Amino acid sequence: MALGFIGFGGAGYGLAKGLRGAGIEEVHFHDRMQETQPYAEVIRRHAAEIGATRAATVCELLSRVETVISCVTGAMAIDVANDASPFLGPSHLYVDVNTASPKVKETVAGIVVKTGAAFVDAAMMGAIPAFLHQVPILASGDGATRFQKCMQPYGMKISVIGGKPGQASAIKMFRSIFMKGLLSLFLETLTATHRYGVNEMVLGSIAESLDGVPFLETARQQMTKGAVNAERMAHEMEEVIATLEELGVPAGMSKATREKLLWCAGFDLRERLGGELPTTLTEVLQAMELPRP
């Protein structure tokens, strides 16, 4: 199999390196920085290391391969698709692994499918340096199943989640709300605890509350019990914010928490649910879909 990459930076090189090690016969690439130093030397070295062949243009690249992976940046994804579109045809499979919004992926898909090529919205759910080509990938779009089948012999971990472009990237974006938000909470919490020398005690207290409870049950408890008490919790956050400000610790996450709790309180969920505590996530989310009082 011959595989092409538009973009041969860290992610493209990592995927290509893993795939070459897994037995893929040919890797071709075109990178807009391949003639610009100091990037050109790094690209040349990486290509030589894994036996990848450079293409002078996107046109040349697409004449050599049927499956091509766009591996640039989210900001460049649409421009790259436009550049490639004159040279795409029904035999091509265009895989976009860039971290971009679902809307961007839908736009790229629209450009690609007009050429007759198949499109894949591929969301990489881990770090390339750690996993190389075996990074978990969620795939959607009309070419997702084809992508999964043709890469399966090389050990890629691709899960097809649907035929609609943007679905895979939406999952990645929504997951990032939690994962990157969690890091931000750690940063704010531990910056404050460090000032008082109570890191271990605070972390120990949090661990005692969370350890031993399955994650999905934690999510259910937080949403069903916490959402109906959002107004009280928002007022409690005022004291947290005041404490952080007294310490000179930026309170961005705490302020955002207060605002989100006040937003939730505006739904008056206790009233909507007849004074009963909800027991499922669905009950809470459906109640929040109703017009605000």
Q: What is the pLDDT of residue 23?
A: 97
Q: Tell me: pLDDT of 219 over 80.
A: yes
Q: Tell me: pLDDT of 56 over 80.
A: yes
Q: Tell me: pLDDT of 266 over 70.
A: yes
pTM listed for this prediction:
0.88
Share above pLDDT 70 across residues of the chain, in percent, rounded to a whole number: 100
Q: Tell me: pLDDT of 107 over 70.
A: yes
Q: Which long-range contacts (CB under 8 A, 24 or more apart) does 45-51 make?
A: 46/8, 46/13, 46/17, 47/8, 49/17, 50/13, 50/16, 50/17, 50/20, 51/20, 51/27
Q: What is the pLDDT of residue 90?
A: 98
Domain limits, CATH 3.40.50.720, in the chain: 2-170
Residue 129: band (very low, low, confident or very high) from pLDDT cuts 50, 70, 90: very high
If one compares 272 and 164, the residue with the highest pLDDT of the two is 164
Q: What is the pLDDT of residue 293?
A: 65
Q: For residue range 26-55, what is the model confidence (pLDDT) as tens digits?
A: 999 999 999 999 999 999 999 999 999 999
Average pLDDT value for residue range 64-92: 98
Residue 273: band (very low, low, confident or very high) from pLDDT cuts 50, 70, 90: confident
Output the average pLDDT for the chain: 96
Average pLDDT value for residue range 151-155: 97
- Reading the block at residue 205, the tokens are 């207290």
- Please count the CA atoms within 13 angstroms of the CA of 201 that sit on its side-chain side: 6
Q: Tell me: pLDDT of 22 over 70.
A: yes
Share above pLDDT 90 across residues of the chain, in percent, rounded to a whole number: 93
The CATH number assigned to the domain with range 2-170 reads 3.40.50.720
Q: Tell me: pLDDT of 216 over 90.
A: yes
Q: What is the pLDDT of residue 276?
A: 85
Q: What is the 3-state secondary structure (H, E, C) of 72-112?
A: CCHHHHHHHHHHHHHHCCCCCEEEECCCCCHHHHHHHHHHH
Q: What is the pLDDT of residue 270?
A: 86
Query: What's the CA angle centered on 35, arms 33 and 39, to 5 degrees?
Result: 55
